């Protein structure tokens, strides 16, 4: 049934055609089989099949071919008998077929399909089924996630290997909105599903950009976005939040002098990514998938970490090298996962849609439409991701959604009270020698040192912190447990008052990020990017793009002085308003 060498270096594809009027017939094994080794990325195979694509699509759309499926066989056995069906007229199905077949096999396949199916005047009355079997190939073992936001999403095998590690699985125990779960019962989603969603969207955007560039002869489309770039962008999107912990931990770290340099979660994400790769010995696996993990020339590990860190604001001369992982020609790739230029990136696409879904807040921004109209354009000699000029309103909807989420959820007064209480509990717990984060071989460290030891940081989650606090009974930790117990009983800090002077802006402080930092292209000149003119911006936009609040909370419980504190705050507030 299967003709194949036992080694993983090459595999032959055998066609089986089934028809109601005939017994299943095994066609001759393809003589011109291109080696499909584990070091090849499926996207690389597709790239070699570009000349055959139109002809193959024509045959796969014929009415007498209903299904093409790939059955994964490993170590001489069927892996759970799992088939991946490729239905007729399915673009995804054709792409999967292109992935499995080598260049020489396509021609043979077309000839055999024509002969057996009676193509060209002898069409069969009932459609046959064609199956392709391949042995000893793990390249095509992908995992499908049923996501409530993006539907069924499929991730490459290398991303699945990263997901199946303790460092990534810890994200299941970290709430996306931190203390927001104590206010919004539906906000129970975690960093895990958000990270999977960002990895998916990063792949969707970079593939859409590559598809458009293949149609553009003026750009060096063959090398502008290659298969390594696509895989690296997907990994960066998947791992961009590896360093996240319980939301308030980020605020807590700001108060600890010797770890203040790790206050930004991107720094911890890079350290955690290095730890994930080393601890799970993924470097050889990455090499098998074609990634370059050594040397200074286009090192893919460096490229992934630079994308997690985010793009830099480009005020440098065009001849100055901005990044180490990729040259300046590919600097637009850094705008996909963490765009520091204008804040338009797939990270926000996912958490806007996901948070709005779980919070019950309307999301007016359509990220799928943005991906359709995004393309790479030349802006003063440098390539950037640009959108159609008519998509300006959709992008402003995105920033309005961000503003709304901050006002109604992220900076909610009760949510902030909960997170301030957790911050106080952390500060007290860090002073207790009994409260330490442990990891293998009996090692332990204080809470404030956890970000310097990724083994300990892996065990640091919001769920674990609450359990530890409630179990420990020393004097200082008892105070910590008391604060946690107050949160559980909803005996929260009371709001004394606020002055509107939570900082939530449109991503660039008091500047318009779209007018000042975003580029567009026109229908008639899709390769040149430009900024919009001030007169083209709607008059409904706010004059001020930054809004701040000062809040004062009362910590003591059942204190009669709370009313006096409120009166004092109102007096101070009036003075500040008059002075402003």
Catalytic site residues?
Answer: 263
Check: CB of residue 521 under 8 Å from CB of residue 386. yes
Q: What single DSSP character describes residue 524?
A: T
Give the residue from 448, 478, 472 showing the smallest Cα distance to 255. Answer: 448
Nearest to 451 by CA among 192, 272, 238: 272
Distance between CA 531 and CA 186 in Å, rounded?
40
**Which contacts (CB < 8 Å, 24+ apart) does range 114-117 have?**
114/59, 116/17, 116/25, 116/27, 117/17, 117/62, 117/64, 117/65
Residues whose CB is less than 8 angstroms from the CB of residue 578 and which lie 6 or more positions away in sequence, other chains included: none
For every residue of 397-425, DSSP letters joined together read HHHHHHHHHIIIIIT-HHHHHHHHHHHHH
Can you tell me whether residue 138 is helix, strand or coil?
coil
Distance CA 580, CA 567 (A): 20
C-beta of residue 70 within 8 angstroms of C-beta of residue 134: yes
Cβ neighbors of 400 (< 8 A, separation 6 or more) are: 364
Which tokens is 32 given? 């011109």
Q: Which of 33, 230, 279 shows the shortest CA–CA distance to 133?
A: 33
Helix ranges restricted to H, 124-264: 157-163, 166-169, 191-214, 221-224, 227-239, 247-253
What six digits make up the tokens of 471?
């179990």
Q: Which of 309, 226, 246 is nearest to 274 (CA)?
A: 309
Q: Which two tokens stand for residue 567?
A: 């009166």
> Helix and strand tally (H, E) in the chain?
22, 17
Is the distance from CB of 46 to CB of 40 less than 8 angstroms?
no
Place of tokens 């999403």: 153
Q: What is the 3-state secondary structure (H, E, C) of 432-482?
A: CCCCCEECHHHCEECHHHHHHCHHHHHCCCHHHHHHHHHHCCCHHHHHHHH
Query: Is residue 201 within 8 Å of residue 366, measured between CB atoms?
Result: no
Residues in the chain: 580
What token pair was written down for 164?
A: 């199946």
29: helix, strand or coil: coil
CA triple 397-312-365, angle to 5 deg: 10
């Amino acid at each position: 049934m299967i003709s194949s060498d036992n080694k993983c270096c090459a595999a032959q594809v055998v066609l089986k055609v089934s028809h109601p009027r005939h017994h299943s017939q095994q066609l001759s094994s393809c003589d011109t089989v291109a080696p499909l080794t584990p070091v090849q990325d499926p996207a690389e195979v597709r790239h070699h099949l570009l000349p055959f694509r139109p002809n193959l699509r024509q045959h796969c759309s014929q009415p007498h071919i209903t299904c093409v499926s790939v059955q994964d066989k490993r170590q001489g056995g069927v892996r759970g008998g799992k088939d991946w069906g490729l239905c007729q007229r399915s673009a995804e199905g054709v792409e999967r077929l292109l992935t499995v077949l080598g260049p020489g096999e396509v021609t043979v396949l077309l000839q055999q399909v024509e002969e057996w199916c009676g193509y060209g005047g002898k069409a069969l009355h009932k459609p046959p089924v064609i199956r392709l079997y391949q042995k000893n190939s793990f390249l095509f073992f992908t995992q499908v996630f049923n996501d409530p936001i993006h539907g069924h999403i499929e991730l490459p095998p290398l991303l699945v290997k990263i997901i199946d590690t303790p460092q990534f699985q810890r994200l299941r125990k970290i709430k996306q909105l931190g203390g927001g779960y104590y206010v919004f019962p539906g906000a129970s989603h975690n960093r895990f599903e958000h990270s999977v969603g960002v990895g998916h969207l990063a792949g969707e955007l970079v593939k859409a950009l590559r598809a458009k560039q293949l149609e553009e002869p003026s750009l060096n489309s063959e090398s502008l976005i290659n298969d390594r770039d696509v895989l690296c962008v997907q990994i960066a999107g998947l791992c961009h939040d590896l360093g996240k912990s319980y939301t308030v931990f980020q605020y807590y770290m700001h108060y600890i002098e010797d770890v203040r340099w790790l206050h930004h979660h991107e720094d911890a994400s890079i350290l955690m990514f290095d730890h994930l790769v080393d601890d799970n010995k993924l470097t050889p696996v990455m090499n098998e998938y074609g990634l370059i993990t050594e040397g200074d020339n286009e090192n893919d590990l460096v490229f992934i970490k630079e994308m997690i860190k985010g793009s830099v604001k480009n005020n440098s001369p065009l001849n100055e090298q901005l990044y180490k992982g990729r040259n300046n020609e590919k600097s637009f790739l850094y705008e996909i996962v963490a765009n520091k230029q204008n804040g338009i990136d797939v990270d926000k696409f996912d958490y806007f849609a996901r948070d709005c879904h779980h919070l019950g807040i309307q999301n007016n921004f359509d990220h799928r439409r943005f991906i359709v109209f995004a393309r790479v354009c030349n802006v003063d000699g440098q390539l950037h991701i640009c959108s159609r000029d008519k998509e300006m309103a959709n992008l402003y909807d995105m920033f309005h959604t961000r503003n709304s989420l901050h006002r109604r959820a992220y900076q909610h007064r009760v949510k902030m009270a909960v997170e301030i209480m957790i911050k106080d509990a952390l500060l007290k717990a860090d002073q207790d020698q009994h409260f330490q984060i442990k990891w293998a071989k009996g090692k332990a460290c204080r809470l404030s040192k956890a970000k310097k030891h990724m083994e300990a940081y892996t065990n640091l989650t919001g769920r674990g912190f609450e359990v530890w606090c409630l179990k420990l009974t020393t004097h200082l930790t008892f105070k910590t447990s008391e604060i946690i117990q107050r949160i559980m009983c909803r005996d929260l800090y009371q709001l004394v008052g606020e002055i509107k002077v939570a900082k939530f802006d449109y991503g660039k402080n008091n500047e318009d990020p779209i007018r000042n930092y975003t580029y567009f292209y026109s229908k008639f000149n899709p390769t040149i990017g430009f900024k919009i003119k001030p007169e083209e911006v709607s008059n409904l936009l706010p004059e001020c793009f930054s809004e701040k609040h000062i809040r004062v909370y009362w910590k003591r419980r059942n204190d009669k002085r709370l009313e006096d504190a409120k009166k004092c705050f109102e007096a101070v507030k009036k003075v500040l308003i008059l002075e402003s």
